[in-house]
Amino acid sequence: MDIGKIIRDRRSVFTNQFSGERISDDLVWEWLDNANWAPNHYHTEPWRFNVFTGAGLHRLFDQLAMQYQTSAGDQFNQAKLDKYEARKSQVSHAIAIVVHHSNKPNLPPVEETAAVACAVQNLWLSVSAHEGVGGYWSTGKLVFEPAFHNFLKLADNEHCLGLFYLGCLKPDGIKPQSKRQPIADKVTWINE
Ligand SMILES: Cc1cc2nc3c(=O)[nH]c(=O)nc-3n(C[C@H](O)[C@H](O)[C@H](O)COP(=O)(O)O)c2cc1C
């Protein structure tokens, strides 16, 4: 398939479009293996993935619900809590995206964060190239909280960059739309 079409057809597909059916673990391994081929400076391969599925998803969403209840204060909204509960039966796999900093001299941490984003794009394109499945990168303040860091049992040199939700699509699911402003608005050529 044309690379331009694969890139443009990649979409964020949200959890309310998921049927709850489970994707095979083998397929998830294949996508993660594609993620593993991302470019990275000094070959530090700084991406780490914690994959939640089955009963693991209950642990994950109970943790997020608990953190939400602890931190929401005046902003508390029951609908958010209901959303975490619903996700237990929508999501097939939730992948915690983690950067593992090597602390190599001459390697600014941002380069390793950038490499992890490249790995996630490989994963995302791999998912998009497959019929009947979808997913997206989800952040939100809870995944950056120390409580979530501890839940994932991350080391001091590791940081969670969000969750990648994966699911099988409902047969009558809405195909998401997306748009971009023209590339010409974002490019400067220096040729003299
Ligand atoms: C680093 C990162 C974090 C994101 N976090 C969220 C999020 O928390 N919630 C959400 O709805 N979408 C999130 N997204 C997905 C974007 O909303 C989505 O990419 C954007 O709307 C464009 O849609 P498209 O991916 O279908 O082209 C995130 C994307 C990236 C790259």
Q: Is residue 192 part of a domain?
A: no
What's the gap in Å between 106 CA and the centre of ligand 1? 31
- Domain holding 18, by residue range, is 3-186
Residue 179 lies in a domain: yes
Question: Looking at the predicted structure, is the pLDDT value of residue 187 above 80?
Answer: yes
Domains contained in the chain, number: 1
* Residue 142 in this model has a pLDDT that exceeds 80: yes
Q: For residue 50, give the 3-state DSSP assignment.
A: strand
- Pocket test of ligand 1: the residue of 68, 138, 177 to mutate, having most ligand atoms within 8 Å of its CB, is 138
pLDDT at 176: 82
94 domain-assigned: yes
Each residue's pLDDT tens digit, 12-26:
999 999 999 999 999
Distance 13 CA to ligand 1 centre (A): 9
pLDDT in tens, 26-74: 999 999 999 999 999 999 999 999 999 999 999 999 999 999 999 999 9
**Which protein residue has the closest C-alpha to ligand 1 atom 1?**
137
| Digit-coded pLDDT (tens) for 149-183 | 999 999 999 999 999 999 999 998 777 889 999 99
Q: CATH no. for residue 111?
A: 3.40.109.10
Overall average pLDDT of the 71-96 stretch: 97
Can you give the pLDDT at residue 172?
A: 85
Looking at the DSSP bridge assignments, the partners of residue 97 are 49, 162
pLDDT at 73: 94
Q: Is residue 115, in this structure, part of any structural domain at all? A: yes
Cβ of 121 less than 6 Å from ligand 1? no
On average, the pLDDT of the chain sits at 96
Q: How many angstroms separate the CA atoms of 141 and 119, rounded?
A: 22
Ligand 1 near 16 CB (within 6 A): no
Note whether 97 and 51 are within 8 A (CB): no
DSSP symbols for 90-135: T-SEEEEEEEE----TT--HHHHHHHHHHHHHHHHHHHHTSTTEEE
